[in-house]
């Protein structure tokens, strides 16, 4: 993967879902590096606590994939904090979660999510999802 491109950040505490995404990204030969956070706090630490000496090497993420239900800091709280930070107001954020609750969907859009996607269960479905996300965001010039 080309290290000069902005990374895809994926925050999810499910190791299985992360591995499915990794395999799908490899299968599709995504050209972006993949950074994984196991919870919302770890994601915020990556985004907001970059040491000054590393800022010249740092690239804003191409896209942030964010699960809702995570320990320490859930995805909705992380979304709210990210959207309040000026540097990340225009970074695409896709909620990638198992929740189909209408209230969760509405809240995420109100907080500034660009898309809300319910995670598929199998590898082939996950592959289709990653491919669709890649096509959509590439078309918009973001992914």
- pLDDT at residue 116 is higher than 50: yes
Question: What is the number of structural domains in the chain?
Answer: 1
- d(C-alpha 33, C-alpha 13), whole Å: 19
Q: Sorting pLDDT into bands at 50, 70 and 90, what band is 1?
A: very low
| Residue 99 lies in domain | 8-139
CB 13 within 8 A of CB 70: yes
> Which CATH number goes with the domain that contains 82?
3.40.50.2300
- Return the SS3 of 97: strand
Q: Which of 117, 46, 109 is nearest to 76 (CA)?
A: 109
- Whether residue 3 is contained in a domain is answered as no
57 CB-near residues (< 8 Å, 6+ apart): none
> Quick one: pLDDT at residue 136?
74
The tens digit of pLDDT for each residue in 46-73 reads 888 766 555 555 567 888 999 999 999 9
pTM for the whole thing?
0.84
């Amino acid at each position: 993967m080309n290290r000069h491109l902005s990374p895809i950040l994926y925050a999810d505490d499910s190791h299985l879902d992360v591995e499915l995404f990794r395999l799908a990204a490899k299968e599709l030969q995504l050209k972006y590096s993949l950074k994984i956070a196991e919870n919302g706090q770890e994601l915020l630490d990556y985004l907001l606590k970059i040491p000054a000496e590393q800022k010249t090497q740092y690239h804003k993420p191409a896209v942030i994939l964010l699960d809702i239900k995570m320990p320490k800091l859930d995805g909705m709280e992380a979304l709210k904090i990210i959207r309040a930070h000026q540097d990340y107001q225009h970074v695409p954020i896709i909620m990638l979660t198992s929740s189909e609750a209408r209230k969760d969907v509405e809240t995420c859009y109100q907080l500034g999510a660009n898309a809300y996607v319910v995670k598929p269960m199998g590898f082939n479905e996950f592959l289709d999802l990653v491919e669709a996300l890649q096509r959509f965001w590439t078309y918009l010039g973001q992914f």
